[in-house]
Amino acid sequence: MCGHYECGGVKAAMGNQHIGLIDNWIRHLKDVYRLHHEELDAIEDEDKRFKRFVEINVIEQVWDLAKTSIVQNAWKNKQDLWIHGWVYAACDGH
């Protein structure tokens, strides 16, 4: 799983504008915001809040993937499967 800072989708989910076709996808991001609004709303700096939202979204996607039957069965069968959550910073390549 890899997210990235400065993500336009995450940025859009932080606002209230309708942006047409990707509204459906934005809805999932808004659910992530709703789950974590206490932590996110406590971050006063908008840029820091934006960065943290990107990170939390990756964490939630890792959970979602871990809950799938494919991954659950692999772990049940003691397969050596790992899920890694990453955030890529395009600005400096880290």
Q: Distance of CA 79 to CAs 20, 73, 74, Å?
A: 42, 9, 5
**What gap in Å lies between CA 21 and CA 45, rounded to an integer?**
29
The values of phi and psi at residue 82, to 5°, are -120, 145
Nearest residue to Zn ion by CB is 7
In whole angstroms, the minimum distance from the beta carbon of 9 to Zn ion comes to 5
In whole angstroms, the minimum distance from the beta carbon of 64 to Zn ion comes to 17
Nearer to Zn ion, 7 or 40 (CB): 7
Q: Is 41 helix (H, G, I), strand (E, B) or coil?
A: helix
Nearer to Zn ion, 71 or 85 (CB): 85
Nearer to Zn ion, 9 or 85 (CB): 9
Residues contributing to the site for Zn ion (CB under 5 A): 7, 9
**What gap in Å lies between CA 94 and CA 85, rounded to an integer?**
14
In whole angstroms, the minimum distance from the beta carbon of 73 to Zn ion comes to 30
